[in-house]
Structure 1
């Protein structure tokens, strides 16, 4: 039987969200219904609310989530009812050219549930990133569910579903940070701070955090940054060079997504170093670099998709590291709030008052 639960809905562009009754259908083939326990408040949800991703309103917001599988449809083998899972927004297909080449983390045909959840009047909802987890329960593709240690705190490990994984993966997967490396992270919000934590986990010798907000720099220091740079007060490129013997960092992670900070990342790396773009630019942004500099500096310019993660591989490992005390996911949880407090959490996020608000149910 379809279930009626409460969820946070964005009905129109730039309008406050509302808490409404939604209908969750029984799972069909390849689908699962998950009872949500915690879901982080991410900038992406705000972008949906403001029409910055698509105009397919109304949206069921929320996507950084953990919960318990309640029921599954036919032909589901990945999970079973009762499994504690972290949700992901890139269920791999297993058939595309990336998957066939043994690179499922780059799957070019990821998928979501085939059915739609609806409002009480039957209006179909668009779930944020195919998840829609600001709700008591949600319907997803079974491949979007990754079982992890059920003893883990849902509010902490749920953040692996998006921003924290993006930052950790930018350092560990895309950037390939190794023991003794020097790393600079430009932009220390949720994703950038996670990149700092990832660099520390990888054994980097120097981790230089760059931001214009002293609160964010203090947070990055707590997560493992060895040096901090306030880009309002000093030239970040020169500061990074000063902290690395005049050479530049082995890996520079750009977690802002702007031409100015990308250019800083490009010139702040060492010869043959790596730049990783994990900040998301807007469609009209462009950058111009001297082609001779691109050639002459060597190295690699990379973009990081979802931290180039493979959820089935990465989520359980990172959860285990969290349980061992080696990865402080709790540090990312600034506050826990109720389902009806998402609009106020958006305001605190805009002001930079929180690293992550997490809705708990």
Structure 2
């Protein structure tokens, strides 16, 4: 079999706030696939890395934290090369990335376990965001929202917006979205949230209690990733309610957990997408069906678009502009 090498521009983070495109050469291994990118998304975790807060190596597939750090995991595109032992994909297949493979690039190389076929009915723009959409949809499904529930989502970023829409689609009586950014809250309201709470203007715990006659929410979702939000969500939850953890909190936090013991909460760890590779092939198509149907709207969440060559500008915007929800790049 002829070995083919493909040259690509790829992003490397040389240090905090120091990102640039370099040239890399990709050679497809026997169990690997090379994909031509269609669209890439900037994750909230990428923003943290850009600021120098590198992730702990808590999984075997993550690179050891340190610079240079090869960025990118949200993308999708078309298969252009497959290894000799790859039977799952062929050249021309449309795929979604579900792994860290330096995806801020014209082309990226990935093991077959880090890819997912694009499901029927989902166009490649949305499929290229299959990883962040899948993560959030998985959380929305795992939250087990029931008809008549009051749901409070803490955090109106990309994931929080998706989870709030899931709650409405599942039959929640009221959905409240909590954030400090007025622009994100306006968007949440446009996408179906019943109540939005700006923490710069009011106490979110009091607001949720007012909404529920003092009971608290039946389900709270923590999608903000902060110590304050976790503690506020704890106080806003009703006796016997469900606490859904979504955020990736990489720094130690201090938590007031007396209610966790006293009030019979159920805890759901809802961001297991990267640790359920085999199961993902089963649940990902199901999770993305409501997106293909239009029940959960993703396009309004794409607030900014750049070319890959403008990656410095894209990260500068993500770093400074809290109104940005999902920033994408095209090759």
- Distance in 2, matches of 1:347 and 1:268, equals 35
Deviation at 1:142, TM superposition (A): 0.5
- Distance in 1, matches of 2:257 and 2:289, equals 42
Task: Give the alignment's TM-score, normalised by structure 2.
Answer: 0.88
Contact 1:39 1:155 in 2 (8 A): no
Counterpart position of 1:323: 292
**Does the alignment pair 1:85 with 2:95?**
yes
Which SS does the other structure have where 1:334 is aligned? Answer: strand
**Structure 2 CA distance for partners of 1:185 and 1:268, relative to 1, 3 Å:** same
Of the structure 1 ranges 183-192 and 242-251, higher mean CA displacement relative to structure 2 is found in 242-251
RMSD: 2.0
Counterpart position of 1:49: 50
The partner residue of 1:20 within 19, 22, 44 is 22
Taking the TM superposition and a 5 Å limit, the aligned residue runs for 1:194-343 are 194-290=162-258, 293-306=259-272, 310-343=279-312
- Distance in 1, matches of 2:294 and 2:272, equals 24
Contact 1:157 1:329 in 2 (8 A): no
Contact 2:37 2:78 in 1 (8 A): yes
Which structure has greater strand proportion?
Answer: 2
Contact 2:138 2:287 in 1 (8 A): no
Q: Deviations over 1:155-178 (max 9, x none)?
A: 32322213x3333222212x2122
Contact 2:37 2:106 in 1 (8 A): yes
**Structure 2 CA distance for partners of 1:78 and 1:182, relative to 1, 3 Å:** farther
**Structure 2 CA distance for partners of 1:320 and 1:171, relative to 1, 3 Å:** closer
Task: Give the alignment's TM-score, normalised by structure 1.
Answer: 0.81
**Structure 2 CA distance for partners of 1:67 and 1:263, relative to 1, 3 Å:** same
Q: How many residues align?
A: 315
- Distance in 2, matches of 1:14 and 1:329, equals 30
- Distance in 2, matches of 1:82 and 1:179, equals 43
Q: Deviations over 1:123-151 (max 9, x none)?
A: xxxxxxx2211111111110111112466
The gaps in structure 1 that reach 5 residues or longer are: 90-129
Counterpart position of 1:6: 9
Contact 1:237 1:267 in 2 (8 A): yes
Counterpart position of 2:102: 132
Deviation at 1:45, TM superposition (A): 1.8
The gaps in structure 2 that reach 5 residues or longer are: 56-64
